[in-house]
């Protein structure tokens, strides 16, 4: 769990039926993936699916937000991450369901699929890659109907500087800082995410079902009630 002293964002436990809804919210890639991707094939192929709490609470909150008129948006970068995650999932399905699947590392036979082997699998199934990516595109188009894409305001050195300002004092990855900085440049302060690291950014409110993030926020006195 992230230390309470590092919690800087306000946090809303979206599992609660009484949780307030924002007027506008920017959605992280992890939530878009959960609400926008059909996990039927991945479960059948034996892949690890999202946690039960993720599958339960985010779609419920999403339906409530849509019914409540919340303007939901995301960034082009977040959509790119979703596309990457879906492609990786589909490639793993392809590999796991192949009765003649190749060794991932000839020098170490018997290796299981992990993200580090995605390029190996992509190269092996290159003849099927276009069809796979067209399927990913179809899913991405469906997701894009759920959210607006915020304009890319500032893609110059000043934008990088703003990202660095967000990233250095946080506990998050640089990509998370870029996501938050992009949101803040367009006036977005309400973030829907399952990533606990985002609660280490100041000046935002994170709506989440992540128990670790919620517990850390409660200890820090940053949990909205």
Matching residue, tokens 């050195």: 157
Q: Return the half-sphere exposure (C-beta side, CA atoms, 13 A cut-off) of residue 41.
A: 13
Residue 153 has pLDDT above 70, yes or no: no
- 154 confidence band (pLDDT: 50, 70, 90): low
Residue 65 has pLDDT above 90, yes or no: yes
Least-confidence region, from 52-66, 156-170, 183-197: 156-170
- 161 confidence band (pLDDT: 50, 70, 90): low
Which pLDDT score, from 0 to 100, does residue 21 have? Answer: 96
Rounded to 10 degrees, what is the CA torsion of 119, 125, 127, 131?
A: -90
- 157 confidence band (pLDDT: 50, 70, 90): low
**Angstrom distance (rounded) from CA 26 to CA 193:** 9
Mean pLDDT of 93-111: 92
Residue 156 has pLDDT above 80, yes or no: no
**Angstrom distance (rounded) from CA 200 to CA 172:** 7
**How would you classify residue 166: left for phi > 0, otherwise alpha for psi between -120 and 50, otherwise beta?**
alpha
Q: What is the pLDDT of residues 200-209, one digit of tens each?
A: 999 999 999 9
In order of 54, 57, 142, 184, 194, the CA distances from 50 in angstroms are: 6, 12, 20, 29, 11
Per the CB < 8 A criterion, the answer to whether 25 and 208 are in contact is no
Residue 117 has pLDDT above 90, yes or no: yes
3-state secondary structure of 194: coil
**Angstrom distance (rounded) from CA 81 to CA 58:** 18
In order of 88, 106, 117, 153, the CA distances from 111 in angstroms are: 17, 9, 10, 43
> Which of the two residues, 137 and 40, has the higher pLDDT score?
137
Mean pLDDT of 134-163: 80
Number of helices followed by number of strands (H, E) in the chain: 9, 6
Per the CB < 8 A criterion, the answer to whether 178 and 154 are in contact is no
3-state secondary structure of 71: strand
Matching residue, tokens 């915020």: 150
Mean pLDDT of 146-152: 84
Mean pLDDT in the chain?
90
3-state secondary structure of 170: coil
pTM attached to this predicted model: 0.89
Q: What spatial distance separates the first Cα and last Cα of the chain, rounded to whole Å? A: 21
Longest CA pairwise span in the chain (Å): 55
Structural tokens at position 115: 């993200």
> Which of the two residues, 167 and 123, has the higher pLDDT score?
123
Which pLDDT score, from 0 to 100, does residue 151 have? Answer: 74
Which pLDDT score, from 0 to 100, does residue 129 have? Answer: 94
**Angstrom distance (rounded) from CA 91 to CA 89:** 5
């Amino acid at each position: 769990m992230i230390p309470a002293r590092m919690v800087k964002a306000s946090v809303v436990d979206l599992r609660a039926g009484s949780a307030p809804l924002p007027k506008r919210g920017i959605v992280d890639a992890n939530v878009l993936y959960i609400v926008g991707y059909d996990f039927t094939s991945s479960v059948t192929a034996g892949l690890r699916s999202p946690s039960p709490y993720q599958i339960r609470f985010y779609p419920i909150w999403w339906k409530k937000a849509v019914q409540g008129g919340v303007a939901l948006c995301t960034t082009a970068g977040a959509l790119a991450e979703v596309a990457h995650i879906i492609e990786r999932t589909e490639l793993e399905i392809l590999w796991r369901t192949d009765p003649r699947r190749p060794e991932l590392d000839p020098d170490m036979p018997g290796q299981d699929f992990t993200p580090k082997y995605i390029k190996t699998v992509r190269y092996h199934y290159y003849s099927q890659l276009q069809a796979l990516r067209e399927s990913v595109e179809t899913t991405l188009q469906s997701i894009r109907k759920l959210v607006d894409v915020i304009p890319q305001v500032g893609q110059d050195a000043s934008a990088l500087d703003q990202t660095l300002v967000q990233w250095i004092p946080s506990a998050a990855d640089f990509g998370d800082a870029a996501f938050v900085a992009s949101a803040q440049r367009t006036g977005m302060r309400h973030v829907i995410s399952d990533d606990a690291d985002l609660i280490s950014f100041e000046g935002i409110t994170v709506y989440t079902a992540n128990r670790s993030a919620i517990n850390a926020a409660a200890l820090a006195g940053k949990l909205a009630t």
